[in-house]
């Protein structure tokens, strides 16, 4: 695979008035900021005081920053496996004074513990970096209707990265309640959920995740969340063409103690 493309790499940019971020690819970071802070992707998230939030697929830290705007008392456990993205994430935590409230775990999450799993990092679409690059074909096809196919595919040409994968339950062993589990992991959403032990599900009060509905994945996720006692709502992901079949799933625990 080819190396990083021109225009990629760490740079500090202004995303909004008085809001600066270290980013790995500027166009994508601006798109993510718009989705999160202007299009209301997570507007229905509610957090209690001193909430524990799990940010799975933390990327450069925009969601962790969003959490602080929603509830400054929240604590975040952020998971991110991509090396360059981790550098940007840590710089942003320092930049915004969040290093004391956000703890970073340098790993991916999945259904079981695995060492040296091949992921693909996309320099021109770092937020799309994934364990499952074959699942990007529908996205490439749809986006190629709006621009030259070679240009679109260049955003999904990357480098292989060896990643440690851990189960989420490893980080829930102390029994602390999780106010919100946010998942944005480019095809591995069900893997992450399957990495939670039955006994730990009762700790999770709320889940929000983005999922591309390939091979019945959306129905499988809904069924699992409902089985674990959560009430599920689904809506199309903002800014993503409908034909890409990407949805935001928001699930809230129906009653205390189920799981």
Q: pLDDT tens digits, residue range 16-35? A: 999 999 999 999 999 999 99
Q: How many Cβ atoms are within 10 Å of 57's Cβ, its own excluded?
A: 26
| Torsion angles phi and psi, residue 74, rounded to 5 | -70, 150
Please report whether residue 26 resides in a domain: yes
Q: Which residues of 59-96 are buried (b: 16+ CB within 10 A; e: fewer)?
A: bbbbbbbbbbeebeebbbbbbbbbebbbebbbbbbebb
Contacts of 92 (CB under 8 A, 6+ apart): 21, 22, 60, 61, 65, 98
Per-block mean pLDDT, blocks of 10 residues, the chain (259 long): 52 96 97 96 92 98 96 96 98 97 98 98 97 97 95 96 98 90 98 96 97 97 97 96 97 68
Please report whether residue 258 resides in a domain: no
Structure tokens at 109: 């999450």
Please report whether residue 259 resides in a domain: no
Query: For residue 209, what are the domain limits?
Result: 11-253
Please report whether residue 6 resides in a domain: no
Please report whether residue 32 resides in a domain: yes
- The predicted pLDDT at position 174 comes to 79
Please report whether residue 3 resides in a domain: no
User: Which residues, in sequence order, are bridge partners of residue 204?
Assistant: 178
Q: How many Cβ atoms are within 10 Å of 2's Cβ, its own excluded?
A: 9
5 burial type by CB count under 10 A (0-12 exposed, 13-18 middle, 19+ buried): middle
Please report whether residue 140 resides in a domain: yes
Contacts of 37 (CB under 8 A, 6+ apart): 16, 66
Task: Please write the tens of the pLDDT for every residue from 165-187.
Answer: 999 999 997 789 999 999 999 99
Instruction: Please state the domain count of the chain.
Output: 1
- The predicted pLDDT at position 6 comes to 43
Residue 113 CA to residue 44 CA, distance in Å, equals 32
- The predicted pLDDT at position 2 comes to 35
Give the CATH number for residue 209: 3.40.50.150
Residue with tokens 């069924």: 223
Q: Which pTM was predicted?
A: 0.93
| Torsion angles phi and psi, residue 57, rounded to 5 | 85, 55
Give 143-208 as a DSSP string: HTTTS-HHHHHHTT--EEEEEEEE-GGGGSTT---BSEEEE--TT-HHHHHHTS-GGGGGGB-EEE
Please report whether residue 131 resides in a domain: yes
């Amino acid at each position: 695979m080819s190396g990083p493309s021109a225009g990629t790499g760490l740079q500090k940019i202004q995303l909004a008035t008085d809001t600066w971020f270290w980013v790995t690819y500027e166009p994508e970071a601006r798109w993510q900021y718009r989705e999160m802070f202007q299009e209301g992707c997570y507007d229905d998230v509610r957090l209690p005081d001193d909430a524990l939030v799990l940010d799975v697929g933390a990327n450069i830290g925009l969601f962790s920053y969003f959490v602080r705007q929603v509830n400054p008392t929240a604590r975040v456990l952020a998971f991110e496996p991509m090396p360059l993205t981790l550098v940007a994430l840590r710089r942003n935590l320092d930049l915004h004074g969040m290093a004391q409230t956000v703890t970073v775990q340098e790993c991916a999450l999945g259904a079981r513990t695995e060492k040296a799993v091949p992921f693909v990092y996309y320099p021109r679409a770092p937020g799309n970096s994934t364990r499952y690059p074959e699942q990007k074909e529908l996205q490439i096809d749809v986006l190629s209707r709006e621009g030259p196919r070679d240009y679109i595919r260049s955003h999904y040409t990357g480098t292989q990265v060896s990643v440690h994968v851990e189960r989420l339950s490893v980080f829930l062993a102390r029994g602390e309640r999780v106010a919100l589990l946010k998942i944005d992991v480019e095809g591995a959403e069900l893997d992450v959920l399957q990495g939670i032990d039955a006994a730990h599900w009762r700790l999770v009060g709320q889940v929000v995740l983005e999922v591309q509905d390939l091979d019945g994945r959306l129905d499988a996720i809904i069924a699992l969340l409902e089985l674990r006692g959560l009430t599920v709502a689904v809506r199309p992901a903002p800014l993503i063409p409908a034909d890409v079949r990407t949805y935001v799933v928001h699930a809230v625990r129906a009653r205390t103690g189920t799981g």
